[in-house]
């Protein structure tokens, strides 16, 4: 079905939600959460979740932004039903509705000039009053139109009484109708405005529940006027409070408000961790902190969406990510971090390297909070000898007891089996014989094996490196220690 052939079901059907991002930027945190809530609500009710790209701002809408939004949605696992809909392609349909509203007497052509509008706006500012347009063209016929003027099309908003919306999140919200002006539907060049396009598309897509940020709450009252004027079925509105920073201020880049792709590519966050974190930003299920996707679909409702802004905390996201790293499949993690490791080493990982990386995951992931920490922690497995050491590691090797690395090499060479258990037993026996605390032996040994002072348990490190590589690195360390002594 093409974008211009959308029709609303004529009978009561399933729940239909939508996510409607503007491709003037990448998929940000707030947008991702809105998409998630709409997806969960639709899936919970066995309904449909649709995606609409609101690309009517042709000057600012870009293909890279569209691609990033689609990519981010797929990464989060928020699959939409049917093809994505592009709003710009439906401009003819939007204009058709505007003309029908004129025919119904619910809209009119307004020929106020730019200068006239500016003067009235400045007069309202001078009187410190909100600007509410009262156009003399509201009740005049087309025969009075100035010659050659195209004008704009405005909706006739009610001027008396009030309108109440029973919002599924905010509760009952009432606005005096006098506060809703005769907003523009079609510009003088015939292009539709955002307010018209959104209302028409929501109707034609059969949207039953509009879940979005509460910065759109005022728009709901304008769109309700249009919906009622057309005699269309009303949607259920659910306006979700925005996300704030840890300090309570509006979320910005200094709080970590970045595109979703940044959390994936630069911060090393797993999609299941991001989904779980976004879910808990403004919605809760008792004291449950770790919520699987299946449980989220089973439990999600609008009744438990909070009315207060939630606060974004990058540390909490990383802690949650650590949990999902520990739960993740080892081969899957190896596949995700391998490009990061290969980029650092400036060489691809072989099949044997990948097998080693997978075997190492049970030791690498328990202490990591991000994928990048896993990648950094795995580098020691693939570094070329002699190792380049950081300053602390180099100092530990240089200051190790004389002959320590040779003693370790002898003890390990005698092992019949190369396992974590046999390695630990041999090194503990050596520690006792040398009357050296195990930590005093393990610290320089870790430096010699990894080039750093941080790694998985030293016995696991040696088991993963294998006998030949371990003994070769011990020989390098012994030579380094000897050259320092000279």
| CB-based contact 476:448 (threshold 8 Å) | yes
- The four Cα atoms 455, 460, 465, 468 give a dihedral, to 10 degrees, of 130
What are 49's two structure tokens?
């979740």
What are 412's two structure tokens?
């390990």
Helix (H, G, I), strand (E, B) or coil at 223: helix
Helix (H, G, I), strand (E, B) or coil at 244: strand
172, 250, 253, 347: the catalytic one is 253
Residue 46 and residue 97: Cα distance in Å, rounded? 31
Beta bridge partners of 162: 176
Has 369 been annotated as catalytic? no
| CB-based contact 123:201 (threshold 8 Å) | no
Longest dimension (CA), the chain: 108
On the CB side of 280, CA atoms within 13 Å amount to 19
Closest CA to 156 of 137, 172, 130: 137
Give the end-to-end CA distance of the chain in Å, rounded to a whole number: 80
Residue positions counted in the chain: 486
Residue 398 and residue 257: Cα distance in Å, rounded? 45
Q: What is the DSSP string of 76-132?
A: HT---SSS-EEGGGGHHHHHHHHHHHHHTTSEEEE---HHHHHHHHHHHHHTT----
23: exposed, middle or buried (C-beta count within 10 Å: 0-12, 13-18, 19+)? buried
Alpha carbon distances (Å) from 251 to 22, 187, 199: 18, 33, 28
Alpha helices by DSSP H, 152-289: 194-204, 217-230, 260-265, 271-280
In degrees and rounded to multiples of 5, residue 390 shows phi and psi of -75, 170
- The four Cα atoms 434, 437, 443, 449 give a dihedral, to 10 degrees, of 40
Positions annotated as catalytic residues are 253
């Amino acid at each position: 079905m093409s974008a211009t052939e959308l029709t609303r079901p004529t009978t009561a059907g399933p729940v239909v939600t939508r996510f409607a991002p503007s491709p003037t930027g990448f998929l940000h945190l707030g947008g991702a959460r809105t998409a998630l809530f709409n997806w969960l609500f639709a899936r919970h009710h066995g309904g449909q979740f649709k995606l609409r790209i609101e690309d009517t701002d042709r000057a600012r809408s870009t293909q890279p932004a569209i691609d990033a939004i689609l990519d981010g949605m797929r990464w989060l696992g928020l699959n939409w039903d049917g093809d994505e809909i592009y709003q710009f392609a439906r401009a003819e349909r939007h204009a058709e509705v505007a003309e029908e509203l004129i025919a119904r007497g619910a809209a009119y052509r307004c020929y106020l000039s730019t200068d006239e509008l500016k003067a009235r706006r400045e007069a309202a500012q001078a009187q410190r009053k909100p600007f509410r347009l009262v156009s003399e063209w509201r009740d005049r016929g087309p025969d009075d139109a100035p010659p050659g003027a195209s004008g704009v099309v405005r909706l006739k908003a009610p001027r008396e009484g009030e309108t109440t919306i029973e919002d599924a999140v905010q509760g009952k919200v009432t606005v005096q109708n006098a506060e809703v002006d005769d907003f523009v539907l079609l510009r003088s060049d015939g292009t539709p405005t955002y307010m018209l396009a959104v209302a028409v598309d929501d109707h034609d897509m059969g949207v039953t529940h509009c879940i979005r940020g509460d910065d759109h709450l005022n728009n709901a009252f304008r769109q309700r006027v249009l919906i009622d004027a057309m005699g269309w079925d009303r949607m259920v509105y659910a306006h979700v409070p925005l996300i704030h920073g840890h300090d309570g201020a509006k979320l910005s880049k200094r709080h970590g408000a970045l595109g979703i792709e940044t959390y994936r590519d630069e911060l090393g966050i797993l999609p299941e961790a991001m989904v779980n974190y976004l879910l808990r930003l403004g919605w809760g299920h008792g004291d449950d902190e770790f919520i699987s996707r299946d449980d989220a679909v089973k439990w999600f409702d609008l009744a438990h969406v909070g009315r207060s802004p939630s606060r974004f905390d990058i540390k909490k996201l990383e802690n949650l990510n650590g949990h999902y790293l520990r739960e993740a499949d080892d081969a899957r993690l190896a596949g995700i971090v391998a490009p990061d490791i290969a980029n650092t080493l400036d060489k691809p990982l072989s099949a044997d390297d990948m097998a080693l990386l997978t075997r190492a995951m049970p030791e690498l992931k328990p202490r990591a909070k991000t994928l990048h920490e896993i990648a950094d922690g795995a580098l020691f497995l693939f570094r070329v000898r002699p190792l380049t050491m950081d300053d602390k590691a180099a100092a530990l090797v240089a200051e190790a007891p004389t002959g320590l690395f040779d003693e370790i090499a002898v003890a390990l060479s005698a092992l019949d089996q190369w396992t974590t258990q046999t390695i630990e037993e041999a090194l503990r026996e050596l520690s006792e014989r040398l009357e050296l605390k195990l930590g005093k032996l393990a610290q320089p040994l870790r430096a010699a094996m990894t080039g750093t002072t941080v790694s998985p348990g030293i016995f696991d490190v040696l088991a993963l490196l294998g006998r030949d590589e371990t003994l070769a690195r011990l020989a390098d360390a012994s030579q380094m220690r000897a050259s320092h002594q000279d």
